[in-house]
Structure 1
């Protein structure tokens, strides 16, 4: 691609108030990106700013992928509002195998995280690329599990130089360095804000042959990804959970609506297509039409009891494993578990296991 053409595409993508669909219409109407940029006039992003971004990405070892040009993810290009430009850091080889997205709750239970790690590892062993959004909880577990035996792709909401959450900065570097790929639609320097995450979710869905949902509450961002995947004709999978755990209600509802019930990696492989073909999409209602999820007051982050509760679910977990996950000493963990049991929040079970009451 010519330098001026690349600059024009980047300037179009970064111009305020113009979405991906409008970008492509402008290019088609005017016969090319440079003519479309000229038609935008003063609304177009500055050329100097585009040059600075390209140079900064090059210093990071990253590159730009342009819709309709070599290197751009073929599956993602099929969705209606595919990004005009993606910043990519890592190996584009990660785009070659079939991809499965694993998504779920940020406040996932320890059991849910362990299952996500094991499922991602099992997919990676079988040559499947695991895709997620680098968030806390299920996303983090999915990326870490995939890196054990294979590769993974992280789609992030901010710029490549703005890891989020901060504790995942090291994981983001590992993904890019160990054969995986990190993708962002946002310019460098963009802090991840709430409005950016649904746009990130469509990239996760668009890159995938199928999407697996673990521990998603009703009216959660995870269900946005599920709905986008379904509307794009991608296969939808959900891991069942306890009916008394609010984090499982979204996944259980997806199964009720037709998603593949998923307990093992074989449940995915048996229903994962080799290629994306035209098929009736599984239509999910808008999230606003779903039953409202009860509002739960989140304790302050300094409350170690809240930290322990977030790592637990209705499925019993050994106390030793809980301690490792929470990084608490055995005496401190025992003190917290006693407090939670006395308050009726958890129950202690045979075999030195605990679960939410």
Structure 2
């Protein structure tokens, strides 16, 4: 019998409890969330649409094979089994970590307000760090001695002002940022599984961060070795967790510029430290400044710019997370008019290799929004569309 056999209902806060205390997933719900996000072709946006449409992760899991068939898939979809999920749960527990769902109290609060936030993350350490004002620090892996020195000074000043530091546990600027914030609060986002830190020379930081009151976080499965394409995924979490992102030393084609672009798309404040025009490591940061990034020469430049955002968050001005609805009440599936085969064909014909907003598809076809989103789910699970930032979708060539 599975270990997690309680009803699939979230554990609610007691009546009269503060909203910030949140709603907790039940063990059964957490297991089904893990199974769903580990199933083939289910990413964060697809996960959210599935649960919103079918009412629960358990019901969505049962529908995956049928949805893939309707979308034109020509083989069975791989659905994560209960045994697979329980095994990963046990592996997480063995290293002293746990899974947290979006909408739960220990989920990074600013990450929830991003359309592609991971529904489930593995964390190890002190989750209260997520609730300090978070600032991301990223930069060159082959950082200069001056760059590291400035990073240490900046981070210590931010830590003294009550800020948590977010970075990616990489060589160079990332490592300097974590080292300088060990005593004041640091968040390390991993590109691989929580048990696969990279690079090996930063194992001392990997071990020290949870011991010193910081936290490690990853969305990837346990045992997952980080690959080149996983680092941009990690970068989106770094940007999403933070109120603002600071770039210190970045060449023209640096991965730090990917983080900067993602931060801009999410509406985060973007900061850059100027550098010598003769140093290639400053080409990217100097270009960010030309394009409107906030110039940083001291911590107060960041503190002053973020102060209005922190004040607004304290007064509850952040938008309601879509995940609140997912966690709040997994009761009934969304009502929808019957979907005929000709309706499905109209939606597919309206798609193209050009990214298209679903609202445009709804207006073009005249169909009910839930019908359009259901067909997009089918096509997504069959591997026939690509999702883009802002919710746009494009049809993949056959």
TM range (shorter): 0.7 to 0.9
Match of 1:312 in 2: none
RMSD: 1.4
Match of 1:40 in 2: 64
1:1-357 equivalences under 5 Å are: 1-41=25-65, 42-147=77-182, 149-272=183-306, 273-274=309-310, 275=312
Q: What is the distance in 1 between the residues matched to 2:86 and 2:243?
A: 35
Bigger RCO of structures 1 and 2 (CA < 8 A, at least 6 apart): 2
Q: Over residues 98-133 of structure 1, what are the superposed CA-to-partner deviations in whole Å (9 max), with x where a residue is unaligned?
A: 000000010111110111111111111111000000
Instruction: Could you tell me which runs of 5 or more consecutive residues in structure 1 were left unpaired when the two chains were aligned.
Output: 280-357
Give yes or no for contact 2:133–2:163 (8 Å, CA) kept in 1: yes
Give yes or no for contact 1:129–1:152 (8 Å, CA) kept in 2: yes
Q: Over residues 213-252 of structure 1, what are the superposed CA-to-partner deviations in whole Å (9 max), with x where a residue is unaligned?
A: 0001112110111111111111110000001111101111
Q: Over residues 184-203 of structure 1, what are the superposed CA-to-partner deviations in whole Å (9 max), with x where a residue is unaligned?
A: 01111000100100000000
What's the secondary structure of 1:43's corresponding residue?
A: coil
Structure 1, 246-255 or 11-20: larger mean CA deviation = 11-20
Q: What is the distance in 2 between the residues matched to 1:70 and 1:46?
A: 27
Q: What is the distance in 1 between the residues matched to 2:52 and 2:132?
A: 31
Q: What is the distance in 1 between the residues matched to 2:197 and 2:43?
A: 24
Give yes or no for contact 1:107–1:137 (8 Å, CA) kept in 2: yes
Q: What is the distance in 1 between the residues matched to 2:50 and 2:228?
A: 28
Structure 1: which 4+ aligned runs deviate by more than 4 Å?
A: 275-279
Give yes or no for contact 2:137–2:174 (8 Å, CA) kept in 1: yes
Cα deviation for residue 278 of structure 1 reads: 7.8
Q: What is the distance in 1 between the residues matched to 2:199 and 2:157?
A: 26
Match of 2:337 in 1: none
What's the secondary structure of 2:263's corresponding residue?
A: helix
What's the secondary structure of 1:15's corresponding residue?
A: coil
What's the secondary structure of 2:124's corresponding residue?
A: strand
Cα deviation for residue 4 of structure 1 reads: 1.6
Q: What is the distance in 1 between the residues matched to 2:57 and 2:46?
A: 12
Give yes or no for contact 1:233–1:278 (8 Å, CA) kept in 2: no
Q: What is the distance in 2 between the residues matched to 1:16 and 1:166?
A: 30
Q: Over residues 292-337 of structure 1, what are the superposed CA-to-partner deviations in whole Å (9 max), with x where a residue is unaligned?
A: xxxxxxxxxxxxxxxxxxxxxxxxxxxxxxxxxxxxxxxxxxxxxx
Give yes or no for contact 2:106–2:128 (8 Å, CA) kept in 1: no
Aligned residues: 278
Cα deviation for residue 167 of structure 1 reads: 0.9
What's the secondary structure of 2:62's corresponding residue?
A: helix
Instruction: Could you tell me which runs of 5 or more consecutive residues in structure 2 were left unpaired when the two chains were aligned.
Output: 1-24, 66-76, 320-398
What's the secondary structure of 2:181's corresponding residue?
A: helix
Cα deviation for residue 2 of structure 1 reads: 2.1
Give yes or no for contact 2:109–2:131 (8 Å, CA) kept in 1: no
